[in-house]
Structure 1
Amino acid sequence: MNTEETPTPAAPEASAFGAFALAPTLLAGLAEMGFTEPTAVQALVLPAVLDGQDVAGQAPTGSGKTAAYGLAVLQQLDTTVQGTQAIVLVPARELVLQVQGALKQLGKHLPNLRVAAYYGGHAMREEVKSMQQAPHVVVATPGRLLDHLERRTIIPNQLKVLVMDEADKLLELGFQEEIATIISRLPRRRQTLLFSATMPDKVLALVRANLTRPRVMNAGGANASTLPASLTLKGHVVGAADQKPAALFQLVTQPAAGRCLVFANTRDRVEELTRFLRGRGVLAEALHGKMLQPERDKSLMKLRNGSATVMVATDVAARGLDVTELDTVIQYDAPEQADTFQHRAGRTARAGAAGTAHLLVTPPEQGKLQAWPAAASVQWAAMRPAKLPAAAPKAPRATTITLHISAGKREKISAHDLVGAFVSIGGLEREAVGRIEVFDHYSFVAVPEAQAEAVLDKMQGAKVKGKKVKVALIR
């Protein structure tokens, strides 16, 4: 099989999604999401995928590849038929939920569309219970999907499309055996799509083994040109590693820092830096693989709704992180590889928004990074961080407070139901009810800090859609 890269075809002449002959229901979903012009990867990939070809696409983080394969997958579905027709494999739980949400939005006008999310750390019995009606699309981590295939709770005999997203990370995390076993249990007659930010030999081997006459398309590789033009890269060189904490504090407390994502290489470092920042009055949250899913959901919700301003995370936990308007990325620990540097930096300046990615390095670390083409545009400067105050300041009060509600999707509670309850019972104006996220058995609602205690008192023992709920403040 020849998997040599094919010449990049010209983008379609038309400048809108109508050029791809997508179903009117999908065009309606795109319009509601505000998408009028395809991104480079969408213009490149969609014609081949819609034509039924296998595709291996190289595309950087934030390039719009989820919609590129998502539209093609949804176009092929027959939602009048029971059975799983598409499977999307991704490396992390957060990415499972992000892709599921994107597919639901794109396909919101497809009648009876069912898109399921399956991942480790989520109760298997809940997932099995949800399969009384087979999902049309399954988005899953490899380990959990393999569990379902072995239990025969998912029977893929009607599968049309397999997507392997973030393939380089899937292999980096050691999912080779699971992927091979999964593919051996799928129908041979199917379309297979693979997307990866980089195309090392191990990814190309995966392409050769599992894709049929694939079109290998490059919408941006691991080099400086793939990073958004709206992204500013700044490198700060400190004299020694023990100066990094003070430098980090200085960066996250700058007025322009906004909402920050800080990368550390280990779970212990994540916890250490989170404690350090909190002790200095910074509204910081941790995110790493050892945390239980409800804890991860809570941390992410607080960052999204403004109850926290800094998230300290490992690379795996931050993969697929769904936080809009992320202003600043700080790489506290130097990345081991160039593609890791690019994935981290690409978490900000998405969809044309401005953003800044900082690196904190010692001179030896700087020497290593300067050899990477991906870091060619970094603006390097020496940094002497200001001395930390002797006593930690009083922690600032968040402008938004997050409340936990003891009911969710399984209790038939929707965001609309919660808005109604917080207005009619909690006494809030409709515009004052902030971000709402509804999970299986609990929900989060953001409310103004000044009104949080009063709302909490009023909502105690309240009924939402006829069900009595408990409401608690998230600390």
Structure 2
Amino acid sequence: MNDTTPDSPTAPLPLDFSALGLAEPLQRALAEMEFTRPTAIQAQVVPLVLDGQDIAGQAPTGSGKTAAYGLPILQQVDLQLDAMQVLVLVPARELVLQGRAELKRLGKFLPNLRVAAFYGGHSFAEEAKSLKQAPQVVIATPGRLFDHLDRRTIVPNQLKVLVIDEADKLLELGFQEVLANIVMRLPRRRQTLLFSATMPDNVMNLVRKNLTRPRTVQADVERETLPETLSLLGHVGTSEQKPAALYHILQRPETGRALVFCNTRQRCEELARFLVSRGVAAEVLHGKMPQPERDKALLKLRNGSALALVATDVAARGIDVNALDTVIQFETPDKADTFQHRAGRTARAGATGTAHILATPAEQAHVQRWPLSKPVKWEPIKVQALPAATKSAKPTAVTLHISAGRKDKVSAHDLVGACVNVAGMAREDVGRIEIFDHYSYITVPREMGPGVQQRLTGARIKGQKIRVSEIR
């Protein structure tokens, strides 16, 4: 499978999705999601995938890549066949969960569509049990997918399409051998789609080995830019000044919800402990955390019961936090694309946002070599003493854990009803609700938290007595 004759489409981009040849249920889902005009990567990729072509695609973060491959692969799924027909490999658990959610939204009106997510840190036995009715689409991390193939809980003999997403990050994380072992077990007659933010030699080698006469697609890769609605601010000082600078940035009302980047797990944990000790509601996110703890940290940032999330790049890759106000790069990255990925987590879809970077003079010189850093407004860090005790305002909301979830047939409507009818809340006071397989989360105003917890504990939802506790 090493015949590579890359090509790039030159046809003008269609103005709306109706020109891409997508089935009516997919167009209905796009209309419900208020997606009307395809992005550059979507306009190029969708027709080629529907035509059966292998694809080597290069696209930056936020380009609409998941829908670019998701729409045409969903159109090819045989909904009457109980077998894995599409396999999507991604490097991180958060990308698995985000990808599954996106594919399910796109396939909302496809009857009997089953999309499964498999990843390390999740119960293998539970995943195997879920395979009794085989999903047509599987999105997984390579290690966990290989475990399923090795134990024959997944048999890939009906596979039509393999998608290798974030290929550069997969190789960076050392998945070369696992990927090779997975591909050896898949049918040779298949369509293969590979996407990567960058195309270094090792990614091109992966393309040559696994794709047949691929069409190459590039979307906005020549244009290293960040959103025009993004403000870039640089702060220069000594390493010792950085914690105080971070603390004072987080105290500003306009900072809102912030994602703080560090380069290592250890630094993330140290920094989160520092912030918590100063009264900042901060959570940590890195690759060694158990999945429930990662889910909890993300949830608390999304619903406002945490004001800062301190994360590594791998863990933050693909996280889904709408209306993220601020990004702070506490440690400078080595590469320009990492700088771009971090800063681009805010100011999405036309929203405004601010990206800070804390740097020593040497780190500033390194960052200034990158063309996309030209808009950064640099200023010296103003040394401000850290107070012995802070009066930082606590988040106005708390998150409650409910001991019932999707597997118990619990819906958001059921949870709202319990809050209103049992806990005596006004409907408008019920905040964000997220439902998982065996538990759910509800956000409520902080002052109501203890009373709601007390009144809901022991109540019945769908005939099941529930337990309620506050997430701390």
Q: TM-score range by the shorter chain?
A: over 0.9
Letter in 2 for 1:82: D
Q: Is the 8 A contact 1:262 1:329 kept in 2?
A: yes
CA distance in 2, matches of 1:387, 1:221: 43
* Alignment counterpart, residue 417 of structure 1, candidates 414, 417, 420: 414
For residue 196 of structure 1, report the CA deviation from its aligned partner.
Answer: 1.0
Query: Which residue number in structure 2 is paired with residue 404 of structure 1?
Result: 401
CA distance in 2, matches of 1:4, 1:352: 37
Query: Which residue number in structure 2 is paired with residue 360 of structure 1?
Result: 358
After superposition, give the CA deviation of every residue in 1:425-449 in whole Å (9 maximum; x if it has no partner): 1222222221111122221111122
Q: Is the 8 A contact 2:8 2:215 kept in 1?
A: no
CA distance in 2, matches of 1:397, 1:379: 31
Query: Which residue number in structure 2 is paired with residue 338 of structure 1?
Result: 336
After superposition, give the CA deviation of every residue in 1:3-29 in whole Å (9 maximum; x if it has no partner): 57634524434x111011111101111
Aligned residues: 471
CA distance in 1, matches of 2:37, 2:16: 5
CA distance in 1, matches of 2:365, 2:3: 38
Q: Is the 8 A contact 1:223 1:374 kept in 2?
A: no
Moved more, 229-238 or 182-191: 229-238
**Secondary structure, aligned partner of 2:253:** coil
**Secondary structure, aligned partner of 1:132:** coil
Q: CA RMSD for the aligned pairs?
A: 1.6
CA distance in 1, matches of 2:196, 2:437: 31
After superposition, give the CA deviation of every residue in 1:323-352 in whole Å (9 maximum; x if it has no partner): 111111111011022222122112112222
Q: Is the 8 A contact 1:224 1:377 kept in 2?
A: no
**Secondary structure, aligned partner of 2:135:** coil
Query: Which residue number in structure 2 is paired with residue 287 of structure 1?
Result: 285
CA distance in 2, matches of 1:46, 1:403: 42
Letter in 2 for 1:214: P
**Secondary structure, aligned partner of 2:288:** coil
After superposition, give the CA deviation of every residue in 1:270-319 in whole Å (9 maximum; x if it has no partner): 11111111222222111112221111111111101111111000111111
Identity, % of aligned positions: 63
After superposition, give the CA deviation of every residue in 1:368-390 in whole Å (9 maximum; x if it has no partner): 1112234233232322242222x
**Secondary structure, aligned partner of 1:437:** strand
CA distance in 2, matches of 1:165, 1:246: 38
Instruction: Note if 1:379 corresponds to 2:339.
Output: no
CA pair 5-354 structure 1, distance change in 2 beyond 3 A: farther
Gaps of 5+ in 1: none
Q: How does 1:61-460 map to 2 (within 5 A)?
A: 61-221=61-221, 224-225=224-225, 227-238=226-237, 240-389=238-387, 391-460=388-457
CA distance in 2, matches of 1:151, 1:470: 36
CA distance in 1, matches of 2:431, 2:201: 46
For residue 84 of structure 1, report the CA deviation from its aligned partner.
Answer: 0.6
Q: Is the 8 A contact 1:222 1:342 kept in 2?
A: no
After superposition, give the CA deviation of every residue in 1:109-168 in whole Å (9 maximum; x if it has no partner): 100110001000000011011111000100100000000001111111111111111111
CA distance in 1, matches of 2:9, 2:355: 30
CA distance in 2, matches of 1:141, 1:230: 34
For residue 459 of structure 1, report the CA deviation from its aligned partner.
Answer: 0.3
CA pair 8-231 structure 1, distance change in 2 beyond 3 A: farther
CA distance in 2, matches of 1:189, 1:5: 19
CA distance in 2, matches of 1:353, 1:189: 44
CA distance in 2, matches of 1:234, 1:202: 34
For residue 194 of structure 1, report the CA deviation from its aligned partner.
Answer: 1.0
Query: Which residue number in structure 1 is paired with residue 462 of structure 2?
Result: 465
CA distance in 1, matches of 2:151, 2:455: 46
